Structure 1
Amino acid sequence: MIKIKAAITILVQFFLISAIITGFPGKPQEIWATEQNQPANEAGQAAGQSLPELKERLWKATDRQEIKNIVAIFNAIPGPDAQAAHILLDYLKDDLRVEAGNIVDALVKLMTEEQISQLAKEIGTYSPANSYRYLVSVLAVRISNPNDLTNAMLSLQDEYVSEVYLQLMTQTWPKIFTDPATGVQWLDDTYSQLNSSTTRENLVCAVGTAAKKQLSGINLPAVTGWLWRIQEKEPDPDYRCDQLITLYELKEAKALEAIDSLYSGTTSPTKRVELIHRITDFIRWQPKEAGQDALIDWLWKVAGTDTSPYCRQECLSVLYTDLGQEKALEQYVQDTDQNGVMGLTQENQVFMVGGLNWQFLKAASQKYPQSYLARGIKAYEAVRGIPYFEIDRINEKQSPAAGEPPYWDGQYPPYGDEQYQPDREIPGWEKFLAEFPRHPASDDAAYRLARCYEIKGRFADAVKTIQKARFSTDGDIRYAAAGRMVYILDVRMTYEQLKELSLEKLDPALQAFINYSLAVREIRREDYPRAASQLEEFLKQEENLATDKHILPFDNFLGNEQYDFHGAVKKQLDEVNKLDNLKSQWEKSKTTIDLYNLAAAIFHNQMLYYNHLWAGQRQYYNWLEYITYQMGRGHAPVEMAAFMREMINYNHSLPYFQQVYLDPSSSPELKAKALYSTGLCYTGLHDWGEDAAFAFNSLDTRKKIISTYQQFVEEYPDSSMADDALLALGSYTGNTGYLQKIIKEYPDGDMLEKAKKLMPDLESPYYSSSHLFGSSVPFKILSLNDESIPPKVKEWAAANSLRSFSGTKISGEWSYMFISAGEKPTAGYSVGIIGIYSDNSSKLKVRYKINNPAFCEIVAQVISYPSILLRIPTSAAPVEFVEESPQ
């Protein structure tokens, strides 16, 4: 659990870094009157420049040193000078200014009192990054009255967190408030005007920190009394606990008693555990003389008296792991021997907060070999055939058990079917789960058992067991289990298998998931009436699901960006009803225009066939290599091809457009639209994504794009879409002749400017065509132990493996590429290759990503240096390495 103050600091840093990288749009406002053309005081005159001239220089400057020099001229102007200050304020208004020299001192000197008051009211309208870097500091120095301080707080409340409030409080409070009563009244008034609980919490945090840092004498008791009064109004126990901790730091002895009362009055075990972690985090960061012992004693009291086994065990875990209390390990083992590892029971499901620390578990199993924990680990290892702890797998380099596939070497996770042995594992995992249902390994065991059932085609057992894995007490397999649940229902099972599964008697949540997935399959089969009926029925069931938090597969992992599942399914139902009407109209009229309208409606709806149980996570789940790790090596699951043919809307609309084009009754205009739309369908299939390549050959699809548009421009040269078709031909063939034809024959068309941009140099006689979209380059991933690698290449890779590095080395008939992620704090990191592409500048682009440990994954706490070595046929082309993140 991250300390709240540390978390806030991280958020501020993240915001500033994001602002610096992305920048902020906007242009300086032109507000200058004619009288501002006068010379800029003595410093400006010395430089021979007027204020407008300085302004123009400042806006045009891009060199950091030049910007600093210009700001230095402003800083030399005697203050106050409203016109000069206005220029600098405008400079900071919208665009991000990373390097603005000594602009804070210049503004402090140049701004008038009226400008300070105006800035206090309007600071929230400035570029947020500029405000944080410069303007808050200006106000902190210059504000000298309560009204300006209040206005600044209110203006900043939608943009900033407590650090900003703290800066204003610590620098302005002592000079503004000499009377404690006046200061407290100001706090009450300002607190009541803030528009959100978060902003009010930021103010309270700033007041508490300021009190610890600065206040003394008569001011301290007044502010302390205000903090006591405010915490009593705080409805959130987490933030109230933070406020009581602040009071405890201010030597308020009764704060510990209040913390105990707050804990005892909190009925939710989840909230009590959060309070335990908040207290623990505070103890860890405080010197012993700050009152650690009393708080540690309080944690021991909780560990011995709380009626919730989960809360007791969490308390004992942090006492040992975070606070070094050796006795806590023995007491934890005794508790788990009696109760197992406990989770939180909610609506008959089990939830875990954070999972069990692997070092804590390893210590318990080693020191107490006859304990429930140790016996469970031995039983797990007996079935799995490899050590339970990943650090042991890496250190021992253990050979696999007889018949067991080679263990993952840390680079690619073993999620393919070949990693399982159902006949051996099924009875082993069934016995393990019967004997150790509340062991930290139970979720891993349930996941592997479900995968074995899945491989055997026992889908009812598979989904029931994967659901058990989702809600087992450890929790580190939950994301993998959530995705696998949806994968089984959406991809792995055939329509007939899913229909048969829907007849099984399962728990309501699973039954609802299956019914919805079956409705999506009916959409893919284009049985719209049945799909609509099933979606309507599901939406009634979904209302009950919505009351159970985290029941939907990916609810745990979306944070504040919750997926509007109900809204998405409702929209899907509306689209199905629309298509049903269009299809019925066509079947009744048999006219090609109605068929074209049906095809167009399908073409324009990429989400029509999407199973929203994925909650927007399907590609991300694949890119985390739970599925596509095998795909990139030519080993995609066989079911992916059929799934992609059903999933991609362009594949559904394509035959309808072709039918319209071939129908003799279609008008010439409609035939032209249908043929052009046929090309668009092929384009959609070609550009869909990497998983589509297992259903549609990319090279064949590209050929169909080209042949379709060639046919179009031959048959319909006078069509308004002819220049569009020529542009596509130029793009997909690299032949500038198509682009030149647009320029010569369609000078008034809307593709003219695009054609000119695609032409690298129309006048150059040396221009040669190339693929403007780029083409994929085959590559092979190598192990450094591969004997075929020349010694010099191995030495080169080894020499660069301990730092962040990307580079190439040619040796004989091969070009070798090496990427190292540098030093990482734990195991579990890896480098993955997205692809290698050639582009129209004869450059090779290597797209790669640095993979972090999976969510809640137990990893070895050792420094690692993840890297990857690959090779392609020798190429002298320059190479660009591009790091990307999964989307």
Structure 2
Amino acid sequence: MKAKKLVSVLCGVSLLAAPIMNSSAASEPSPAAAEQVQSTEKLLSSAMSEYRSNDRTLSDATIKEIMRQKESVLPIARKGILMEANRLRFPIADSDALYDEWSFWLEVARQLHDERLLPDLLHWTDDRRSIPNPFRLGEVIDGVLPAGKEGTLLPLLDKATEEGAEVLLSLYAKRVQVSAQQIQDWLTNYAKSPSIGGIVSVIAGLPDGQEQLKQQFGKTPGAHELDRAIIGRIDYGKDRKWASEVAKATEDAYIEQTIDMTLAYHHGDPDAVKRLYKSGEKGGYQVLLTGPVEKLIVARYPDGMLAKGIKQYEAITGKPYFFGGENEEWYRAKGADYDKPQAGITQWQAFIRAYPNHPAADDAAYRLARCYQIAGQYDEALIWFERALKSGDADMWYDASGQFLFVLDVNTGQDGFAKLEKTEMPEWKQIWVAYSKAVETLRANQFEQAARELQNLITRYDGKEIFADSVLQYVWYDRMAGDTFWYHVKQQLTSVRKLASLQEAANQAKGADRARKQYELAAAIFHDEFTYYNYLWHGERQTFFWIGQIREMEYDESLDRYIGRFNHLVQAKRQFDLIQLDQADPETGAKALFSRALCDSKLTQYGQEVSFHSTRAALLTDLVDTGEQLLKRYPDSELADDMLLLMYRYNNDDALIQRLLTHYPKSDSAAEAKKLQSEKNTTAGGQQQPSPFLSRLPYQQLSQDDWKLPATVAKWYAEKKPSDKLMEAVIEESGWTYFAIKPEKGKVPTISGLEVDHNNTYVYYWLSDPSKTNVRSDQDCVLIRVPTRFLPKGEIRFRLA
């Protein structure tokens, strides 16, 4: 294909990157009065891109241009600093988007160095929203606040938040020498103020500040937050006697436990351990106990609540409560409770009733929720994931909040929301459910209905705060997230309406025109990776999937189905498949097949989650088959040479190069093919390269009495198990293929991986001596399964490491 024709067909999108989109007509020129605003917005948008790609810095040339347009930049910057709803928006939606946006506007303010921005910067000190970076805010205010005006900061303490007070006083103390009387006045006047924590934090860093805080401790009746703030910020480890006296005398369990945790952990103080034991038995633990301190308490008080709860925990999970050791799996990932979720539900409910104040009460609530999740009782799973955030030692917040969203976005599906909608729940959760239901309608490609549901949601709740009281309290921008959420939902509605229009046009058309319009719909889906995105994730979906879920996750049917609904490439591929090639004109037919192959190529690079839906081997086989179909149907197409090149890039078959050079010797793809072949020969150095089709498979590991095990397979497994020699066996049942490994006596098998290529399946495992590892000796046989559709039709080969 000629290069200029390639550009015209792909509309400026790089080859192998995206299918072809129709360009829209140019917009009408803006009025003269708006031209300067547009110019400034363009400048700032470009500056933002530079800022993100250049390690959060701006070039001298960009700064110079911002200063040149200063008067036009100022009003835009003021809205940006405040993160107002009608601010200039940037097309970014990843997990760092809001933080980068806010810090960009602070950098602009720093460069402008204009006192007119001071009210907007100082507004953050009393804003309900959390300050994304207090230190950075203080730096910028310091640069803008004129010398001699430090005193104007102190009256702002009256309305300041804790973070805001720390910003204000840190700047004040940087410029002015603080007197002992000022410290006394602040501690007295703001003893019961929400800002007291920030004030104490600054005082603790001043000369003699620690001593003044200790002198003030307990002097103001009813000032519990002041006393807690003091205990949290002074170095009482240097004065153990003073700290011990406070712990003995205080009636505040939080203060006592905070002190005694430090004394027990760093000094092994037996009196501190005793006080921790007694206060924990009485009302539970209000501070996060470290593992070493828990072990101290259990060792000294084996009949206490903490020790008994730990034994019960281990009995339910079949796993140690304390985790560690070189080969030990993360304790949350597996357990006997997950093997039998219905039994686990009963056991965890009993644990929570018996030990409501145990540090592991949140772990229990989390594992109870996971049992409900595994059993498909998603309404109950949501309830208990939320409760896991509000009980125990509160160390499950990331997992529980992420799993709450995982249930809504991944597990529930379109049919599951009917039950959830009938459940009584707070308003924020009603909105979450209604929005997630609309997204599922969208994923079913019912675009017109999805547009109605999104519009109804916006009409009823637009701008409403739905995160401050939700499970996502950990998000730093919890008060800012609502604005960003509604902005993205409106953008999503615009996209859905466009898809609905394209879908309607395709449904009304006939013949070749129908094929063209179906292609336009499929290409539109391909081009927007956020088409089916649930914006409740705030750009954190992939982070949680990797850190909190998929990395520790076996094959999961829900995730398999989810990828089929959520992934825009999978959805686009299905839309391309709907095009009737016999009715399509040759150009549309070739474009449809080429774009379908692009979907497969990009899915191989999308990420680990795709492996839960399809294998690399299957995708590349599909790509090659689609390519051959295009070459057979449309050998004279301008995309034929590009298709051969695409096929070669992904399967390294030199025969494809020869076909390309033979049939399309003068094409730009031919030159590229020669270059790739030369690079391949140079890199390979005569050595055989691994198959490009080779890919790892997620699988499920099962116990002999696992709830998911069919009776026929359980019987087969039991018959195989008594063997006294190494046994490797395979059976297929109801769409699953099961693999069993039973080693010789005295050995324990461990699966290290499962792989497939174009032809065969490979099961890798190793054997170990249970006396030399932390693997239980009763785990002398291993059983795993995978969907049979993932496996090629060739041999199954076991490989012992």
Common fold: TM-score over 0.5: yes
Partners of 1:741 and 1:708 in 2: how far apart? 16
Structure 2 gaps of 5+ residues are 1-50, 71-103, 123-134, 699-751, 758-797
On the 8 A contact 1:443/1:472 being kept in 2, the answer is yes
* Higher alpha-carbon deviation: 542-551 or 422-431: 422-431
2:184 maps to 257
Separation (CA, whole Å) in 1 of partners of 2:425 and 2:256: 27
Whether contact under 8 Å (2:165, 2:198) holds in the other structure is no
Alignment of 1:1-16 (within 5 A): none
For 2:486, the equivalent position in structure 1 comes to 566
The 5 Å alignment of 1:296-695 reads: 296-301=214-219, 304-306=221-223, 309=224, 312-319=227-234, 324=239, 359=262, 366-368=273-275, 371-375=278-282, 389=294, 401-402=314-315, 404-407=317-320, 408-409=323-324, 412-416=329-333, 418=335, 420=337, 426=345, 430=349, 441-472=360-391, 475-540=394-459, 542-543=461-462, 545-546=464-465, 549=468, 551=470, 553=472, 556-557=475-476, 564-590=484-510, 591-624=514-547, 626-631=548-553, 635-662=554-581, 664-695=582-613
Aligned to 1:174: none
Distance 1:536 1:627, change over 3 A: same
Determine the structure 1 residue equivalent to 2:203. 279
The Cα of 1:696 is off from its aligned counterpart by: 0.8
How many angstroms does 1:619 deviate by? 1.6
1:483, distance to aligned residue in structure 2 (A): 0.4
Are the counterparts in 1 of residues 617 and 756 from structure 2 also a CA contact under 8 Å? no
SS in 2 for 1:553: coil
Q: Secondary structure at the match of 1:368?
A: helix
What is residue 700 of structure 1 aligned with on the other side?
Answer: 618
Are 1:317 and 1:328, in contact at CA under 8 Å, matched by a contact in 2? Answer: no
Equivalent residues of 1:657, 1:675 under 8 A apart: yes
Query: What is the SS of the residue equivalent to 1:446?
Result: helix
Matched AA of 2:602 = G
CA deviation map 1:854-881 (0-9, x unaligned): xxxxxxxxxxxxxxxxxx9999xxxxxx
**Distance in 1 separating the partners of 2:213 and 2:397:** 33
The reply on whether 1:738 has 2:645 as its aligned counterpart is no
The whole-number CA distance in structure 2 between the counterparts of 1:390 and 1:748 is 75
Q: Residues of 2 paired with 1:749 and 1:550: CA distance?
A: 60
Per-residue CA shift, 1:807-857, capped at 9, x if unaligned?
xxxxxxxxxxxxxxxxxxxxxxxxxx999999xxxxxxxxxxxxxxxxxxx
3-state SS in 1 of match to 2:273: helix
Q: Per the alignment, do residues 25 and 873 of structure 1 end up closer, same or farther by CA in structure 2, a change over 3 Å counting?
A: farther
* Counterpart contact for 1:161–1:199, Cα < 8 Å: no
The alpha carbon displacement at 1:368 in A equals 1.8
Q: Distance in 2 between matches of 1:579 and 1:637?
A: 30
CA distance in 1 between partners of 2:225 and 2:361 (Å): 16
**Aligned residues of 2:317 and 2:335 also touching (Cα < 8 A):** no
1:705 CA displacement: 0.8
- Give the 3 Å change call, closer, same or farther, for CA 544–716 of structure 1 in structure 2: closer
Note the aligned Cα RMSD (angstroms): 5.5
Question: Which consecutive residues of structure 1, in runs of 5 or more, have no partner in the other structure?
Answer: 1-17, 27-92, 96-117, 125-155, 165-188, 209-221, 343-354, 781-832, 839-871, 876-887
Q: For 1:561 and 1:753, how far apart are their aligned partners in 2? A: 52
Deviation of residue 771 (structure 1)? 6.2
Q: Report the more deviating stretch, 710-719 or 511-520.
A: 710-719
Aligned in 2, Cα 1:668/1:526: closer, same or farther, shift over 3 Å?
Answer: same
Post-superposition offset of 1:681 = 2.5
Alignment: residue pair count: 578
Identity of matched residues, %: 21
Which residue identity does 1:482 align to in structure 2? S
The aligned residue for residue 170 of structure 2 is 242
Instruction: Give distance in 2, aligned partners of 1:19 and 1:835.
Output: 39
Provide closer, same or farther for how the CA distance between residues 729 and 340 of structure 1 changes in structure 2, counting only shifts above 3 A.
same
Aligned partner of 2:636 in structure 1 is: 718
Deviations 1:89-139 (CA, angstroms, capped at 9, x unpaired): xxxx899xxxxxxxxxxxxxxxxxxxxxx9xx99x9xxxxxxxxxxxxxxx
2:503–2:518: 8 Å Cα contact kept in structure 1?
yes
**8 Å Cα contact 1:450-1:463 kept in structure 2:** yes
Q: Are the equivalent residues in 2 in contact too, given 1:739–1:755 (CA < 8 A)?
A: yes
CA distance in 2, matches of 1:392, 1:360: 13
Q: Which structure is richer in relative contact order (CA contacts within 8 A, separation 6 or more)?
A: 2
Name the aligned partner's letter for residue 566 of structure 1: W
How far apart are 1:486 and its partner, in Å?
A: 0.6
The 3 A distance-change label for structure 1 pair 748 and 239 is same
What secondary structure sits across from 2:475 in the alignment? helix
Superposition TM-score, scaled by structure 2 size: 0.59
